[in-house]
Amino acid sequence: MEAAEAVARVEDWLRAVHGPDQRTVRVDTAKVRRVPEGWSVPYNAVAFLDGGDAGKEIFPPPNMVVREPDGQLRQAAPHPGGLSIPARYPGREHWKEIVDQEFRESGLGHLGVPEAAIGGWQKILPDGTESDEERENPDYRPGPIRLGRERPRNALEYLLAFHDAGWLDRERFLIGLVSTEVYIPIADNDRVPRTAYDQQAHRLLTYSDPRHLPEHTHRWWHVDLATLMKLDPPPNLNLDGGPQYRQQVSGTELTGILGRFPRFKQTVDKKITGLATSEEIRTFAEEAAAKIVLPTPVSPPTHAVDWARRNGFELTDEEIRLTVLGRTWRERVRLDDGGRWPVDLASNGLQPGYGDNGEAVPRLNTFGKYFEQGNPGFKHGWHRVTGAYLGFALGEALGIHGKLDREVPLGPLTQQLLFLTEGTIRSPHREDSAQVGLLPATAARGLLRWLHTQGEQVPGAVDGWLVQVPELRERADPDPDELAAIRELAQERPGTAGGPGALLAALPAALTNGYAGSGGVDQIARVLAGLTHGGEEDTEAAAFLASLFDLLLTRGEDTVCPPVATARSFFRDGSWPGLRDTVDKSLMRMSPDSKIPVLPRPSDFGAGHDTKTVLAQVLSAVSGYENYPEMALRRSVTHDGRRPLTGALAGALLGARLGVPGLPWTTQVRSRYLVQQLASDAFWHFDQYSPVFESTSGWARRYPRS
């Protein structure tokens, strides 16, 4: 299609809208241009275009798009990145496009709405009233975010995701790349090192965001792809948008596209030194040391940046400065052998912590992005474990209070989870697998220590650090049935209660497999659940959920966490026959008549208090909403069942995926640092290199054998 044909189509539309003899508006032919969607044809008031009367100008200038190759006429969005819509004619009905939310939010509207991203159409009556009549698009494909893949954070990552999902063909993908930038590792001499090339494929390794840069990269080149293509010869590229979004493009492809669609955005061409290795941070460390009279300033926190990147996070400049302050204070107190900490911990890079006797001992704030000891985890990821535990506390709090508009204490389920985890840590089977038979007794002692904090008499000594923490001595309001089941332990009676409280065992059971080879997650879950719950249906559900947690907590080479719907794979070998139907109905699935996702709601399963119902409500709350934590958490407590429990377990599933930084409302959980510290201890203990094997670690004092 040529420009003249596009103009003619718009002129026909203007006559249909304004009448055959209209002389009020016309096409601004001087500004007609080619755009990715087709032809951009602006129009304006004749008085402004011909007479220069600025008072008559239509602002913002309206614009029509004539799409290629089908010639469809569309009204352009009034703002950059918005979506065009089919042109409307007065007095006629039309069909409004129902565009997938993922594409609407991507900012890629300039590429045109892909057919595969339109879920369907809604009929609009001639008077503009929305009707109830809709029709589905048989060519629709669900977006990658809804399917549980990682949520993109910039235009390049959206392009990679949508191209991979089949929403953007190769040409639209390449056109979109013209407007994006990449990050490339560079050496101190500003040159790209050999390690930044895939030598075998002759491709330059580029990254969508600094958080994806290789470990130990502290200098990089931030450059737009149009500028990069000016190199001679234009390089072939490996585009890395994270573990789930990668693509290769050739220099020939990109230069060809640039010849047709030049970059209109401002050039980006910067050589950047990360703050962690800059002169600025060295000066900052010297000033911090001088302020509190520390003889030698701390070294730059390059390791903290590296450890955060292992987990898929990037430390902000403010977090890097706070890390320097926190390490400076920690060194000052160490030299003073018990010196005083600052009153304002947060402003000095610190967070509340707890010593071996439960006393307050501030710790370095790692912002939920890396483990302070730097251990990446042999199987499980630290950020996934701490995220799961804090998510549990957060979800329970939401289930209890309905909303989190103020700071709230830990709920009874979270308290029980902490003590059950502590009891599991204190089992000797981590050092000697032959002593796994002692696990039930040590785990039971953990629950009894919680019962003691609630003012009840329990047999035997009550020791360990957790029972000394003041906030855990606050009276909770536990479910009466679950409280009665724990009281049975004090009478040394085997678990006979029935109910969903058995699911509490799933998370600590999963952690015991942090060192691949220890195995037996499902059996350990049955053991822990069986302390208080004796029903086969209850313990089977706990074992299933523990296996799911074990999968979601897995660190993986590229920090990928699968969607909850992956649980369907557990049934392929005939396992879990009693749960197959329940789980299948609770997970996202595709409609048999179309490709529209079917998303069950927790309320679809009624208000039951049995274990299967709770499990179904938890899975349905999260499945398909892994990247929408606020919505998932609210879904998990929108029913008439056991809301604190469903909220807690849904929060744990979300936290395993998103980590602490990805969870909402965390500042409203009063004892969040206590939860994170216990989770960190559990992660470390069940990792390959547990401190239990180090005689000088003090671990035996912190977690005495019981």
In terms of Cβ atoms closer than 10 Å to its own Cβ (0-12, 13-18, 19+), residue 389 is buried
Give the sheet arrangement for strand 118-124, strand by strand: 94-99, 118-124, 130-136
What pLDDT is recorded for position 186? 96
Model confidence at 517: pLDDT above 60: no
Dist CA 198 CA 559 (whole Å): 22
Structural tokens at position 238: 């490996």
Cross-strand bridge partners of residue 247: 239
Do 604 and 588 contact (CB within 8 A), yes or no?
Answer: no
Mean local confidence (pLDDT), 501-528: 90
Residue type, 471: E
**Residue 516 binned pLDDT confidence (cut-offs 50, 70, 90):** low
What pLDDT is recorded for position 518? 55
- DSSP class of residue 85 equals E
Could you report the per-residue pLDDT of 145-189, keeping only the tens digit for each?
Answer: 999 999 999 999 999 999 999 999 999 999 999 999 999 999 999
Dist CA 127 CA 581 (whole Å): 47
Do 221 and 193 contact (CB within 8 A), yes or no?
Answer: no
DSSP code per residue over 307-359: HHHHTT----HHHHHHHHHHHHHHHHHHHHTSPPPPS-SGGGTEE--B-TTS-
List Cβ neighbours of 486 (8 Å cut-off, separation of 6 or more). 416, 447, 448, 450, 451, 532
Which residue has tokens 């350990």? 524
Could you report the per-residue pLDDT of 8-60, keeping only the tens digit for each?
Answer: 999 999 999 988 887 889 999 999 999 999 999 999 999 898 877 888 888 88
- Select from 172, 171, 149 the least CA-distant residue to 161: 149
What pLDDT is recorded for position 643? 97
What string of H, E and C letters represents the secondary structure of 84-136?
Answer: CEECCCCCCCEEEEEECHHHHCCCCHHHCCCHHHEEEEEEECCCCCEEEEEEE
The larger pLDDT score, comparing residue 518 to residue 228, is at 228
Which alpha helices (H) appear in 242-315, and where do they start and end? 251-260, 279-291, 302-310
Q: What does the angle CA 435 – CA 500 – CA 597 come to, to the nearest 5 degrees?
A: 115
What pLDDT is recorded for position 557? 60
Do 531 and 443 contact (CB within 8 A), yes or no?
Answer: yes
What pLDDT is recorded for position 207? 98
Cis-peptide into 233, omega within 30 deg: yes
In terms of Cβ atoms closer than 10 Å to its own Cβ (0-12, 13-18, 19+), residue 191 is exposed
Q: What does the angle CA 156 – CA 558 – CA 553 come to, to the nearest 5 degrees?
A: 120
What pLDDT is recorded for position 513? 93
Which residue has tokens 């909402």? 664
- Select from 396, 688, 658, 680 the least CA-distant residue to 514: 688
Q: What does the angle CA 90 – CA 129 – CA 119 come to, to the nearest 5 degrees?
A: 95
**Residue 496 binned pLDDT confidence (cut-offs 50, 70, 90):** confident
Mean local confidence (pLDDT), 380-384: 96
What pLDDT is recorded for position 38? 94
What pLDDT is recorded for position 497? 83
568 HSE (CA, 13 A, CB side) = 11
Residue percentage of the chain with pLDDT more than 70:
99
Model confidence at 520: pLDDT above 80: yes
In terms of Cβ atoms closer than 10 Å to its own Cβ (0-12, 13-18, 19+), residue 669 is buried
Average pLDDT of the chain? Answer: 93
Strand, coil or helix: what is 126? Answer: coil
Tally Cβ neighbours within 10 Å of residue 365.
22
Could you report the per-residue pLDDT of 249-305, keeping only the tens digit for each?
Answer: 999 999 999 999 999 899 999 999 999 999 999 999 999 999 999 999 999 999 999
Dist CA 128 CA 150 (whole Å): 38
**Residue 592 binned pLDDT confidence (cut-offs 50, 70, 90):** confident
Q: For residues 685, 313, 239 and 33, what is the CA-based torsion angle, rounded to 10 degrees?
A: 160
Distance in Å from the first CA to the final CA of the chain: 81
Residue type, 179: S
- Select from 173, 170, 142 the least CA-distant residue to 157: 173
Could you report the per-residue pLDDT of 416-458, keeping only the tens digit for each?
Answer: 999 999 999 999 998 888 899 999 999 999 999 999 999 999 9
Cross-strand bridge partners of residue 203: 198, 236
Residue type, 85: I
Do 229 and 222 contact (CB within 8 A), yes or no?
Answer: no
Which residue has tokens 């430390």? 315
What pLDDT is recorded for position 21? 80
Structural tokens at position 442: 């040590």
Do 488 and 481 contact (CB within 8 A), yes or no?
Answer: no
Cis-peptide into 629, omega within 30 deg: no
Do 382 and 696 contact (CB within 8 A), yes or no?
Answer: no
Dist CA 90 CA 109 (whole Å): 25
The larger pLDDT score, comparing residue 520 to residue 53, is at 520
Dist CA 239 CA 275 (whole Å): 25
Residue 184 sits at φ, ψ, to 5 deg, of: -130, 130
What pLDDT is recorded for position 558? 63
